DNA sequence: GAGCACTGC
């Protein structure tokens, strides 16, 4: 019988600024196998909270966090919960405060002396746990395909795998493959450019990419448990690890490594042939983020090339998707293999007791595999006629469900944004007060990314007795967050989509119809635990007219970063790069021009020294350029600019205020942070004040209505950038103390102009601003400290179109600075 | 007078 476990992790954890006050469970509850301490401070506690949300198979663990430590939200990664063998979670279970834990916080107690016996127990208990999990693994739909998949990959190098939701692909595929003969480290000789040979061991490890950090971490945890091995850096014997930004946990014996797509791209900059790996598994390709497109393009080049950099050792590639749109991928890889026909190279390998023949290019075909998922049936109800006001329509459906349908069964409503969520929230609450008191109650829970962490957590708690939860969510619930208990989905059929408009150089954020695959994904959220129903607030005809799939991000975003990455990887001929979807020529040209403008490329289009430096920075090329420019203005300026860049590369650090009186309180509290020079210097003063707060940063953030979560990310980025600058000798080795000399606004803003010279506008006589390049009208965004102010010229971080054109992240600059920056090109 | 969702040695 499943049991719900509720744990509260209290207190903030500001880098050990203060003692931990968390009400962690007593040490006696901490399981042996996890007792080894690595006091990696806050991330670890976080990780545990996240992991605990991905319920283990015999227990459903829900964790409510009261702190704000996670930068990535409360996501319950999809696959991890997919691998539960019993998807049904009982409703109305009494929450128990403490019970037996399997995954536990690294307890902040004195170091534990581990004797040999202890260690033995650890491994025994790990094995026991793995044995238990094996029973549920056997029930996964993919499990019976293990031999088939292994056989196919022995014969061929590339496999496309469609695994529907609930098939268990993300956790099982690496385990199916890790003991294959071709997956062993293989000693080989690599021919270098000068013709000399170098001995090197290639392969031995499997990489599995994920679009999101939380998913990478919790999948690694799950697979470590299933394999009966400790996780990551906790033991040198660990076979499973992960690598995401700010948090890498691997060991010398890591064989299975989960990483984010961005992390793999970063690794490829240093090791283009991926010599550590025998296989790369690309998961969730159907989401089609820009990074996955780059990864797949690089991999196609790799598998269809001569493998010289791998000493002839083949690389197996498994591309996994939840939707069946595999024809295009099939054609994509086949074309690559056709293009460069190579005589098959055979390589005989003696590896311990086994000898085998690794045939590179064993076959020039690509294999595919389709695994059915496990979902409960979902009944579809369409709107009989087109809906004009979907908030109003959703309101009616919610109460129709509530009156007619039995309990339990929570409702998940997909809306477009914070505004529609809050409108509907008010309406539902209003109607619910007039409801017949004999009916079950309604609990309305909003869910969107900008919502503070604690409020987001509320959706994970089961509804109180005789109460139906109604979760009003944005797209966040489509991929990132899984809400349990849902049996009814209401889908408005729309979402806000960001689209970069090359010609104007601006991002627009507009409400657009979703794709069929997104509609199917939303519908699926009703059938995870029991049979469900999906109410579409559009007609069947409208549904049939939707696009098949989401527009790949590569067609919707600025390409400068992608192109810089390609150039840094040695792809000089962008035109012939194997794009999964080729962006329009205009977009590519615009990005190349931008790279040229910031000196990342030389006149002939090849990458410059600056470009190489920029590609290694975890920043957009433009922000990276600002950082390099600042380093020429001295250490103080560089440190100041790092603080500002850190703010610009995370979500909004200032909280939005809803009520009027709160707004006034915020204005008062923030007054000492505001700088008349604009948002850049305001961010600097905020980071300085936050970093200088040595007592309670969380309380400080709350007082100033600053997002503590965002500030923690800022501090992470700041730390990373400082470390990188020290490595590249832009900063001295020792840290600066907390003594800050007054910043120089002019030097700082001139540094920004080195990257943002084209993001400038001047005041025109009618009182509006016009962009200096392009002469577009642009208004200062209401969130800016310069909102409503008139200055000679402005520099802005972003140009966004929502209801009108806004400049966001704005500072006042002088026209002659702008002129010099533009002329400097 | 306004804030879809992700992500990086």
Q: How far is the CA of A745 from the C1' of B3 (A)?
A: 27
Residues A91 and A107 in one domain: yes
A766 located within any domain: no
Task: Give the residue nearest to nucleotide B8 (CA to C1').
Answer: A618
Residue A575, in any domain of the structure? no
> Closest nucleotide to A509's CA, by C1' atom?
B4
Q: What secondary structure letter does DSSP report for A761?
A: E
Q: Are A172 and A142 in contact (CB under 8 A)?
A: yes
Please, what's the b/e burial string for A789-818 (b: 16 or more CB within 10 A of its CB; e: otherwise)?
eebebbbbbebbbeeebbbbbbbbbeeebb
Does any domain span residue A564? no
Is the domain of A146 the same as that of A271?
A: yes
Nearest partner of A642 among A692, A673, A693, A683, judged by Cα = A683
Q: How confident is the model at residue A48 (pLDDT cuts 50, 70, 90)?
A: very low
Query: What secondary structure, in 3-state letters, does A160-208 show?
Result: EEEECCCCCHHHHHHHHHCCCHHHCCEEEEEECCCCCEEEEEECCEEEE
A351 pLDDT more than 80 = no
CATH number at residue A298: 3.40.50.300
Calculate the angstrom distance between C1' of B7 and CA of A213. Answer: 8
**What is the per-residue pLDDT across A145-192, written as a single tens digit (0 to 9) for each?**
999 999 999 999 999 999 888 889 999 999 999 999 999 999 999 988
Give A253 CA → B6 C1' in Å.
Answer: 31
Residue A450, pLDDT score:
83
CA–C1' gap, A245 and B8, in angstroms: 6
Helices (H), A260-320: 261-270, 290-304
Nearest protein residue to nucleotide B7 (CA to C1' distance) is: A262
Query: Same structural domain for residues A396 and A505?
Result: yes
Task: Give the whole-number percent of chain A exceeding pLDDT 90.
Answer: 57
> What's the confidence (pLDDT) of residue A226?
95
* Strand-pair category, A316-321 with A277-282: parallel
Nucleotide with the nearest C1' to A806 CA: B2
Q: Is residue A161 part of a domain?
A: yes
Burial of A623-639, coded b for 16+ CB within 10 Å and e otherwise, reads bbbbbbbbbebeebbbb
- Contact of A705 with A669, CB cutoff 8 Å: yes
CA distances from residue A417 to A423, A443, A460, A476, A802 in whole angstroms, order as listed: 10, 20, 20, 10, 12
Query: pLDDT class for A118, splitting at 50, 70, 90?
Result: low
C-alpha to C-alpha distance for A126 and A290, rounded to whole angstroms: 38
- Name the closest residue (CA) to the C1' of nucleotide B4: A496
Same domain, A156 and A247: yes
CA distance A422 to A409: 22
The Å distance, CA of A266 to C1' of B8, is 7
User: Is residue A238 packed enough to be buried (19+ CB in 10 Å), middle (13-18) or exposed (0-12)?
Assistant: buried
Instruction: Tell me the CA–C1' distance in angstroms for A90 and B6.
Output: 31
Beta strands (DSSP E) in A364-409 are 367-371, 378-382
* Spacing of A631 CA from B2 C1' in Å: 35
pLDDT of residue A107: 41
Q: Is A363 helix (H, G, I), strand (E, B) or coil?
A: coil
Distance CA A316, CA A154 (A): 9
d(CA A15, CA A520): 43
Nearest nucleotide over every DNA/RNA strand to the A416 CA, judged by C1': B4
CA dist., res. A596 & res. A614, Å (int): 13
Question: Is residue A421 pLDDT above 90, yes or no?
Answer: yes
Identify the residue whose Cα has the smallest distance to the C1' of B2.
A782
The number of CA neighbours under 13 Å toward the Cβ of A694 is 2
Please, which residues have CB within 8 angstroms of residue A144's CB and are 6 or more apart in sequence? Answer: none
For the stretch A356-368, what's the b/e string if a residue is b when 16 or more beta carbons lie within 10 angstroms of its beta carbon? eebbbbbeeebbb
Given A498, A522, A554, the domain boundary residue is A554
**From the centroid of its chain, how far is CA A540?**
33
On the question of pLDDT at A109 being above 80, the answer is no
Q: Is A557 helix (H, G, I), strand (E, B) or coil?
A: coil
Q: Which residues contact A84 (CB under 8 A, 6 or more apart)?
A: A55, A56, A57, A136
pLDDT digits (tens, 9 = 90+) for A615-630: 999 999 999 999 999 9
Task: Find and list the nucleotides of strand B having atoms within 7 Å of a protein beta carbon.
Answer: 1-9
Overall average pLDDT of the A373-397 stretch: 92
**Nucleotide whose C1' lies closest to the alpha carbon of residue A451:** B3
Distance, CA of A119 to CA of A654 (rounded, Å) = 47
| pLDDT-based confidence at residue A70 (cuts at 50, 70, 90) | very low
Instruction: For residues A343 and A386, state if they share a domain.
Output: no
What is the per-residue DSSP string for A51-101?
HHHS--TT-EEEEEE-S---SS-S---HHHHHT-S-----TTPPPBSS---
Q: Output Rg (C-alpha) for chain A, integer angstroms.
A: 27
Give pLDDT, residue A736: 61
Distance A775 CA to B6 C1' (A): 32
> Has residue A286 got a pLDDT over 80?
yes
How distant, in Å, are the alpha carbons of A146, A600, A751 from that of A821?
A: 60, 16, 9
Q: Which nucleotide is nearest to A654 (CA to C1')?
A: B3
A268 and A327 together in one domain: yes
> Straight-line distance from CA A155 to C1' B9, in Å?
35
Q: Mind listing the pLDDT tens digit for each residue in A292-343?
A: 999 999 999 999 888 989 999 999 999 998 877 778 888 899 888 877 655 4
- Distance between CA atoms of residues A38 and A309, nearest Å: 36
pLDDT top residue among A14 and A821: A821
The answer to whether residue A776 sits within a structural domain is no
Judge whether A106 and A42 are in contact, CB under 8 Å.
no
What's the pLDDT band for A72 if we cut at 50, 70, 90? very low
> At A406, is the pLDDT very low, low, confident or very high (cuts 50, 70, 90)?
very high
Which nucleotide lies nearest residue A265, CA to C1'?
B8
Take residue A535 and report the two structure tokens written for it. 């109410």
With residue A779 as reference, give the H or E element that holds it.
Answer: strand A777-780
The Å distance, CA of A689 to C1' of B2, is 26
d(CA A12, CA A775): 47
In the predicted model, is pLDDT for residue A33 greater than 80? no
Mean pLDDT over residues A84-104, rounded?
31
Q: Nucleotide B6: nearest residue by CA–C1'? A: A212
Give strand letter and number of the nucleotide nearest A244 (CA to C1'). Answer: B8
Residue A365 is predicted with a pLDDT of: 79
In whole angstroms, give the CA distance from residue A474 to residue A197: 55
Q: What is the 3-state secondary structure (H, E, C) of A461-503?
A: CCCCCCEEEEEEECCHHHHCCCCCCEEEEEECCEEEEEEEECC
Q: Tell me phi and psi for residue A687, to 5 degrees.
A: -65, -40
Instruction: Provide CB contacts within 8 A for A369, sequence distance 6+.
Output: A145, A148, A149, A152, A159, A160, A161, A162
Q: Which nucleotide is nearest to A656 (CA to C1')?
A: B3
A783 CA to B3 C1' in angstroms comes to 9
pLDDT over 80 at A270, yes or no: yes
Q: For residue A399, is pLDDT > 60?
A: yes
Least Cα distance to A295 among A577, A592, A497, A614 occurs for A577
A659 and A732 together in one domain: yes
Per the listing, tokens 């998961």 go with A283
- On whether the CB atoms of residues A565 and A269 are closer than 8 A, the answer is yes
Range with the poorest average pLDDT among A83-92, A407-416, A493-502: A83-92
**Domain region containing A686:** 624-738
**Closest nt to A473 (CA→C1')?**
B4
Q: How far is the CA of A287 from the C1' of B7 (A)?
A: 13
A421 within some domain: yes
Q: Using one digit for the tens of pLDDT, what is the confidence trace for A478-491?
A: 888 888 899 999 99
- Report the residue count for chain A: 825
Last residue of a domain, one of A371, A399, A427: A371
Distance A598 CA to B7 C1' (A): 23
Distance A436 CA to B6 C1' (A): 42
Q: Is residue A274 over pLDDT 70? A: yes
A319 & A179 share domain: yes
A140 touches A163 (CB < 8 A): no
- Tens of pLDDT, residue by residue over A567-577, are 999 888 898 89
Dig out the tokens for A634 from the structure.
């001295």
Domain boundary (A554, A579, A614) is at A554
**Residue A516 domain flag:** yes
How many folded domains does chain A comprise?
4
State the nucleotide closest to A499 in CA–C1' terms.
B4
For A508 and B5, how far is CA from C1' in angstroms?
14
* Distance of C1' in B5 from CA in A477, Å: 10
Instruction: Determine the pLDDT at residue A342.
Output: 55
Please state the rounded mean pLDDT for residues A803-821.
94
Contact A42, A15 (CB under 8 A): yes
- Among A100-104, A121-125, A366-370, the minimum mean pLDDT is found in A100-104
Looking at residue A657, its pLDDT comes to 67
Residues A70, A167, single domain; the answer is no
Mean pLDDT of A675-683: 95
Per-residue pLDDT, averaged over A652-662, amounts to 74
Does A250 share its domain with A117? no
Q: Does residue A785 belong to any structural domain of this protein?
A: no
The answer, yes or no, to whether residue A205 has pLDDT greater than 90, is yes
A263 closest-nt by C1' vs CA: B8
| pLDDT above 60 for A82 | no
Q: Which nucleotide is nearest to A262 (CA to C1')?
A: B8
Q: DSSP letters along A216-243, please?
A: HHHHHHHHHHHHT--BGGG-TT--EEEE
pLDDT at position A538 over 60: yes
CA A615 to chain centre: 20
Statement to judge: residues A387 and A361 lie in one domain: no
Distance in angstroms (rounded) separating the CA atoms of residues A273 and A302: 7
Place of tokens 């087109």: A386
pLDDT by residue (tens digit) across A429-480? 999 998 888 999 999 999 998 888 788 888 888 889 999 999 999 999 988 8
Q: Are A762 and A769 in contact (CB under 8 A)?
A: yes
Q: Does A228 have pLDDT greater than 90?
A: yes
Question: Under a CB-based contact definition with an 8 Å cutoff, are residues A453 and A65 in contact?
Answer: yes
Instruction: Give CA–CA dist A21/A13, Å, rounded.
Output: 9
Regarding whether A548 and A418 lie in a shared domain, the answer is: yes
Determine the distance between A560 (CA) and B8 (C1') in angstroms.
Answer: 14
- Secondary structure (3-state) at A684: helix
Nucleotide B1's nearest residue (CA vs C1') is A782
User: Which pair of tokens denotes residue A707?
Assistant: 């997002």
Nucleotide nearest to A476 (CA to C1'): B5
Residue recorded with tokens 């409702």: A411
Quickly state the pLDDT bin for A22 (edges 50, 70, 90).
very low
Distance CA A191 to C1' B3 in A: 54
**Nearest DNA or RNA nucleotide to A623 (CA to C1'):** B8
Q: Which of A360-369, A476-485, A643-652 has the lowest mean pLDDT?
A: A360-369
Cα–Cα dist A722/A719, whole Å:
5
Q: Partners of A504 in the beta sheet?
A: none
Report how far apart, in Å, the C-alpha atoms of A667 and of each of A660, A688, A694, A708 are: 11, 19, 23, 17
């Amino acid at each position: 019988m499943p049991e719900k476990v509720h744990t509260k992790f209290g207190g903030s954890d500001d880098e050990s600024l203060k003692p931990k006050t968390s009400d962690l469970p007593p040490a006696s509850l901490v399981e042996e196998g996890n007792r080894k301490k690595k006091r990696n401070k806050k991330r670890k506690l976080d990780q545990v909270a996240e992991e605990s949300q991905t319920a283990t198979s015999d227990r459903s663990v829900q964790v409510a966090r009261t702190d704000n430590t996670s930068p990535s939200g409360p996501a319950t990664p999809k696959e991890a919960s997919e691998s539960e063998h019993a998807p049904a979670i009982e409703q109305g279970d009494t929450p128990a405060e403490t019970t037996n834990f399997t995954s536990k916080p690294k307890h902040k107690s004195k170091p534990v002396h581990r004797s040999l016996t202890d260690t033995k127990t650890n491994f025994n208990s790990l094995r026991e746990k793995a044995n238990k999990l094996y029973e549920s693994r056997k029930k996964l739909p993919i499990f019976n395909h293990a031999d088939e998949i292994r056989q196919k990959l022995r014969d061929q190098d590339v496999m496309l795998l469609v695994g529907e939701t609930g098939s268990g692909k993300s956790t099982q595929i690496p385990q199916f493959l890790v003991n294959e003969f071709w997956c062993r480290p293989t000693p080989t000789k690599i021919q270098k450019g000068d013709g000399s040979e170098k001995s090197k061991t290639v392969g031995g490890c499997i990489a599995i990419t994920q679009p999101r950090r939380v998913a990478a971490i919790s999948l690694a945890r799950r697979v470590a448990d299933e394999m009966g091995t400790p996780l990551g850096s906790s033991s040198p014997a660990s076979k499973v690890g992960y690598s995401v930004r700010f948090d890498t946990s691997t060991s010398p014996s890591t064989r299975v490594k989960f990483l984010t797509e961005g992390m793999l791209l970063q690794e490829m900059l240093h090791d283009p042939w991926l010599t550590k790996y025998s296989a790369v598994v690309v998961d969730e390709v159907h989401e089609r983020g820009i990074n996955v497109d780059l990864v797949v393009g690089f991999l196609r080049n790799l598998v269809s090339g001569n493998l010289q950099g791998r000493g002839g050792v083949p690389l197996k590639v498994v591309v996994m998707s939840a939707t069946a749109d595999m024809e295009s991928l099939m054609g994509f890889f086949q074309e690559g293999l056709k293009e460069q026909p190579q005589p098959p190279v055979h390589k005989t390998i003696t590896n311990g007791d086994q000898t085998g023949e690794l045939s590179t290019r064993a076959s020039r075909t690509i294999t595919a595999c389709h695994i059915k998922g496990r979902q409960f049936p979902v009944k579809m109800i369409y709107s009989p006629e087109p809906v004009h006001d979907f908030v109003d329509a959703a309101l009616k459906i919610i109460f129709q469900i509530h009156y007619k349908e039995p309990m339990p069964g929570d409702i998940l409503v997909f809306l477009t944004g914070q505004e529609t969520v809050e409108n509907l929230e008010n309406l539902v609450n209003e109607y619910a007060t007039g409801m017949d008191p004999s009916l079950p109650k309604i609990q309305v829970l909003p869910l969107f990314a900008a919502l503070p962490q604690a409020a987001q957590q509320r959706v994970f708690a089961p509804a109180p007795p005789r109460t139906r939860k109604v979760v009003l969510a944005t797209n966040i619930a489509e991929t990132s967050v899984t809400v349990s208990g849902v049996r009814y989905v209401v889908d408005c059929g729309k979402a806000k989509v960001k689209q970069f408009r090359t010609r104007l150089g601006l991002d627009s954020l507009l409400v657009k119809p979703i794709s069929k695959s997104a509609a199917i994904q939303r519908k699926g959220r009703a059938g995870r635990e029991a049979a469900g129903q999906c109410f579409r607030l559009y007609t069947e005809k409208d549904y049939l007219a939707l696009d098949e799939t989401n527009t790949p991000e590569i067609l919707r975003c600025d390409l400068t970063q992608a192109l810089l990455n390609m150039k840094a990887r040695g792809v000089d001929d962008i035109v012939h790069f194997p794009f999964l979807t080729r962006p329009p020529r205009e977009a590519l040209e615009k990005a190349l021009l931008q790279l040229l403008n910031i000196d990342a490329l030389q006149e002939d289009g090849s990458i410059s020294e600056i470009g190489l430096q920029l590609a290694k920075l975890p920043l957009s090329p433009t922000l990276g350029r600002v950082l390099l420019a600042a380093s020429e203005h001295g250490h103080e300026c560089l440190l100041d600019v790092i603080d500002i860049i850190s703010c610009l590369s995370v979500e909004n650090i200032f909280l939005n205020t809803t009520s009027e009186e709160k707004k006034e309180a915020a204005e008062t509290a923030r007054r000492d942070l505001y700088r008349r020079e604009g948002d850049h210097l305001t961010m600097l003063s905020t980071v300085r004040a936050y970093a200088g707060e040595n007592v309670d940063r969380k309380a400080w953030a709350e007082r100033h209505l600053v997002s503590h979560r965002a500030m923690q990310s800022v501090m992470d980025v700041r730390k990373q950038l400082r470390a990188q600058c020290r490595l590249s000798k832009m900063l001295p080795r020792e840290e600066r103390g907390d003594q800050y000399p007054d910043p120089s606004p002019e030097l700082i803003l001139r540094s920004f102009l080195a990257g943002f010279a084209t993001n400038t506008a001047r005041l025109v006589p009618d009182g509006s601003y016009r962009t200096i390049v392009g002469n577009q009208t642009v208004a200062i965004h209401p969130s800016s400290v310069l909102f409503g102010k008139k200055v000679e010229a402005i520099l802005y971080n972003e140009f966004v179109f929502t209801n009108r054109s806004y400049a966001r992240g704005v500072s006042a600059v002088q026209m002659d600075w702008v002129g010099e920056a533009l002329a400097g090109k």
